[in-house]
Chains A and B, each alone.
Chain A
Amino acid sequence: MASTLGLVLNYLIFPGLLFTAVVGLLTTWVDRKVSARVQWRVGPPWYQPFADVLKLLAKEIVIPAGARRTGFLLAPLAGFAAVGVVSTMLWLANMRGAGFVGDLIGVIYLLTIPSLGMIIGASASGNPLASVGASREMKLVLAYELPFVIAIFTAVTKVMPMTLRLENIVAYQEMNGVLLGNLSCIIAFVVAILCAQAKLTYPPFDIPEAETEIMDGTHMEYSGAALAVVKITQAMMLFTLPVFFITLFWGGLQFTAWGLIYTIIKYVIIITIIVLIKNTNPRVRIDQAVKFFWGPVTVLAIIGMVLAVVGL
């Protein structure tokens, strides 16, 4: 009974929904500030994402007449809940080894649920431009999931003995050095960051929510508190994906004194890479994106996997 209550509190407060939402929103502030500096601007103050969310809670929710109300309102909540579960699983696996066999598979499939939520919500909104955004999101998910899974399983192959538990991967890295020291895992890390760019729908792959083309695409019809849920889900994904990559490739989260500072530095490096790719690239077309992910990126991921099997 007490451990169930403890797990529920873990999901809701730390390290689940509340903690991930707050740190995720701070990370979006880092993103906006670095983007502003790269563009020679000043950028918003640190409380800006919180002001955005508070303002959105004060606006009314406008539901279009042709929308299916239930799917429209529940779809973002499903994505929000899924990202909370992923974050809880990652942190608990790092902190006290509380995991189960195959929880890596759970993380992979739960990470697709926010995108599926946006597809369902956009289709339920009854807007033709949103349905264009939904179809583009579907194609993008089909494109990047293949190299993403291959890159993750490169890390699994490298770990000896092969395991699907996150805590075993972290423990292996503690004994044998971080997985990034091997060539195959460097290649897998690069592939994973490119796929993360698409998973977060950041430029150059922000095709589903193209502002100038289809007027914010998938989340065009959301307003008020529903839009706040969508924005918080994006912020939580921005926090969860780098933590996932640190767990898989870079030694896991460490909570000793110097280890904590080192972990924060690793996290900031990954965020900076993602933000710099975001700021230096224009948006690509959907067919260019699919060819890119099924072409060069998959070939690179397969090379990484072959190198891991060979033993490099």
Chain B
Amino acid sequence: MGITNWGFKKSLWVFHLNAGACNNCDIEVLDCLCPKFDVERFGIKLVGSVKHADVLLVSGSCPRKVVPQLIETYEQAPKPCAVVAIGSCGCTGGIFKDGYNFAGPVDKHIPVDAYIPGCPPRPEAIIGGIVKLIGKL
């Protein structure tokens, strides 16, 4: 389906999911949507409900209590849905990897399509990661 694939690449609706993050990555994600970087010119929009999402932006190292919610939210997103792990915590656990309640980085529980390391990653890095994700779709 060529034309719906074109539509998919040109219009990505992101849903932001905080799996135990310190909020720093979340602030940088919001930065991308604000006038200085403005990812809406690429068609990327922030949606309020996971049923409308094409990309799940997961930030944070997953503590034990968040893991069921993370899996449940991923299953509620309509497929095809891509998952992006933002920040060092999302990719590998970052500075919290030896914590007492650390239950594995994001890709231990749900399949991840793109990793954006950084603590926090700059908005330019986030945009670069999304561009690589679009190339992969």
Contacts and interface: CB of A to CB of B under 8 A. Distances in A.
Interface of A: 32, 36, 39-45, 47-48, 50-55, 57-62, 211-212, 215-216, 219-224, 227
A41 B32 CA distance: 12
A44 B35 contact: no
B4 A215 contact: no
Contacts of B6: 51, 54
Contacts of B101: none
Contact of B78 (A36, A43, A61): A61
Contacts of A59: 54, 78-80
A55 B4 contact: yes
B38 A54 contact: no
Interface string B1-31: 1011111101100000000000000000000
Contacts of B40: 32, 36, 41-44
Given A40-B35, A41-B35, A45-B41, A58 B48 contact: no
Nearest to A222: B51
B128 interface: no
Nearest to A55: B7
A223 B80 contact: no
A70 to B, nearest CB: 19
19 contacts: A41-B38, A41-B41, A42-B38, A43-B38, A44-B41, A48-B43, A52-B11, A54-B3, A54-B6, A55-B10, A55-B11, A58-B4, A59-B80, A60-B79, A211-B48, A222-B51, A223-B51, A223-B78, A227-B51
A53 B7 contact: yes
A218 to B, nearest CB: 11
Given A40-B35, A43-B40, A48 B1 contact: no
